Amino acid sequence: MTNHHSPWLDRYDPGVPSRIDYRDEPLTAILDRAVESHPGRTALAFQNWRISYGHLRERARRFAAGLRELGVRRGDRVAVMLPNLPQTVISYWGALYAGAAVVFVNPLYMETELTHILKDSGAKVLIVLDLLWARHRRLITESDVERVLVTRVSGCLGFPLNLLYRVKAWREGKLPGLALDGKRVREWKTCFAREPYSDAGIVPSEHLALLQYTGGTTGVSKGVMLTHRNMSVNVQQARAILHAIGGSPEVFLGLLPFFHIYGLTVNVNFATACGATIVPLPRFDPLDTLKAIQRFRPTVFPGTPSVYMALLQQKALPNYDLKSVHYCLSGSAPLPLDLMRRFAEVTTSEIIEGYGLTEAAPITHLNPLRGQRKSGSIGLPFPDTIAKVVDMEDGVTELPPGTPGEMLIKGPQVMKGYWNRPGETRAALRDGWLSTGDVAVMDEEGYFFIVDRKKDMIISGGYNIYPREIEEVLHEHPKVRDVAAIGVPHRSR
């Protein structure tokens, strides 16, 4: 890799390496190091409930032993269908210690989506919230899942909130009977063995840490195979780029869903690597989010453009102090320039835009923390990550700076492939290059700009029209809250 073909290397912040000597280790080593460095530091803060890093690992390893007693072995899949709760984090680390691959399921999924993921992944165990168990009991009972572990939100609330929550839920008719048989279906809290387990014999480059389902561009969701190495490498890359985060005790606002690859990597894996306190928020409500910032004083606020926009639209925003937030990391969707400017005006934090996709574990690009940030840019490729723009017709010919084409990515964080889909794997990975499906432009200094999704591009009269460019202009109008541009077929064109 030379600077001629990788001009972004010259734009890295001082001290950021172009190459990293990666630790070859299971993903759980991140938690192990956090415990070694600060066992007594608070790992999770949920309402009035706290748990230290030392206690978190102990609970996770005992949960791993409990999963082993249920028959879970290395390579098996454990599905987790929970919102952002302490149980989600404990289950995640516990399944990894047991050697299983975690399959996160969006709690909002309907029966068709849930059925597909459980069947396609072959999940042996499902961890589910009581309300979701009550809703999907018949479907889950008829599935091939061998064990179901049910938990309640109140399970990680301290007294008296745990009691008050149950009383409120009962009054509102939201306290379902669990109908547990103690065998196939049992309470999550009973799945903790006395002796911990942590020796699954993981080979980082071979064994899966995550089987993450994504819709991609073909409709039916596909399981993306991410190894322990893929996930661990991405955290190490993020630590190198975001070197200033974690120098002192940090608090991460865990608003992004942990069942989403972006929320998981940033708010769980990266936060743990920083030895940070994670504040899980089970759902997004703008006013509740402002209250959480006021109460827990987070220093790092990962989010999405829609989240930041919703906060800006709150009339009560001037009543809350957001000055504890030092870093806002934005991903998952294009960040409108007007939103970036407005957010900087009402807070002391600038939004740092990045880019990623599930197939790359997920982060591949980020704007410099200290150096130049370019408006509308997703930033620079991570260390050891190569990105190029190619002709959209042949998918091979590399295009010069300033010319739009499809962005391809190569790096150690790129997925192993799609679960049981060799044909689609070959189509997405060509000679190690991952096809992103995004139309991008690279400038002379190596900054990348997403123009649009390849599938969203409109062709009219022989011209390529990119909806995002239209959306950016409309976003500038103060009375436009949100906008989407689509192509409509015309009979004469």
Structural domains of the chain, count = 2
pLDDT tens column, 204-238: 999 999 999 996 545 679 999 999 999 999 999 99
Q: CB under 8 Å to 492, separation ≥6 — which residues?
A: none
CB 268 within 8 A of CB 258: yes
Contacts of 215 (CB under 8 A, 6+ apart): 221
* pLDDT score at 453: 65
- Two structure tokens written together for 125: 């165990």
Q: Are residues 486 and 400 in the same domain?
A: no
The answer to the question of residue 318 being in a domain is: yes
Residue 98 CA to residue 417 CA, distance in Å, equals 23
Asked if the structure places residue 44 within a domain, the reply is yes
Q: Please indicate, yes or no, if residue 466 is contained in any of the structural domains.
A: yes
Q: Are residue 413 and residue 486 in the same domain, yes or no? A: no
Query: How close are the terminal C-alpha atoms of the chain, in Å?
Result: 45
Distance, in Å, from the CA atom of 470 to the CA atom of 431, rounded to the nearest integer, reads 35
Considering the domain architecture, whether residues 199 and 64 belong to the same structural domain is answered as yes
- Looking at residue 449, its pLDDT comes to 95
Whether residue 2 lies inside any domain: the answer is: no
Do residues 254 and 134 both lie within one domain? yes
Residues 242, 272, single domain; the answer is: yes
Whether 473 and 419 share a structural domain: no
Distance CA 293, CA 484 (A): 30
Among 420, 435, 452, identify where a domain stops. 452
Select from 312, 263, 259 the least CA-distant residue to 286.
Answer: 312
126 plus 235 within the same structural domain? yes
Q: Can you list the residues of the chain whose pLDDT is less than 70?
A: 1-4, 155-181, 215-219, 453-473, 475-476, 478, 481, 486-493
Mean pLDDT computed over every residue of the chain: 88
In Å, what is the CA distance from 13 to each residue of 9, 38, 275, 367, 382?
A: 9, 28, 23, 10, 12
**DSSP, residue by residue, 165-224:** HHHHHHHTT--------SSSEEEGGG---SS--------TTTSEEEEEEE-TTSSS-EEE
By the 8 A CB rule, do 64 and 98 touch? yes
- The per-residue DSSP string of 32-98 comes to HHHHHH-TTSEEEEETTEEEEHHHHHHHHHHHHHHHHHTT--TT-EEEEE--S-HHHHHHHHHHHHT
368: helix, strand or coil? coil
Alpha-carbon distance 196 to 90, whole Å? 13
* Residue ranges making up the domain that contains 484: 460-492
Same domain as 390, residue 368 = yes
Q: Are residues 370 and 473 in the same domain?
A: no
Q: Do 214 and 328 sit in the same domain of this protein?
A: yes
Residue 1 lies in a domain: no
Indicate whether 131 and 202 sit together in one domain: yes
In a domain, 82, yes or no: yes
Tell me if 332 sits within 8 A of 297, measured CB to CB.
no
- 40-60 pLDDT per residue, tens: 999 999 998 999 999 999 999
Tell me, what's the pLDDT at 461?
38
Asked whether residue 133 is assigned to any structural domain, the reply reads yes
DSSP readout, 237-280? HHHHHTTTTTSS--EEEE-S-TTSHHHHIIIIIIHHHTTPEEEE
| Helix 29-37 with 53-69: angle, nearest 10 deg | 140
Separation in Å, CA 170 to CA 108, 164, 339: 22, 10, 41
CATH number for the domain spanning 111: value is 3.40.50.12780
Phi, psi of 130 (to 5 degrees): -55, -40
pLDDT of res. 157? 59
Q: Are residues 104 and 133 in the same domain?
A: yes
Is residue 163 domain-resident? yes
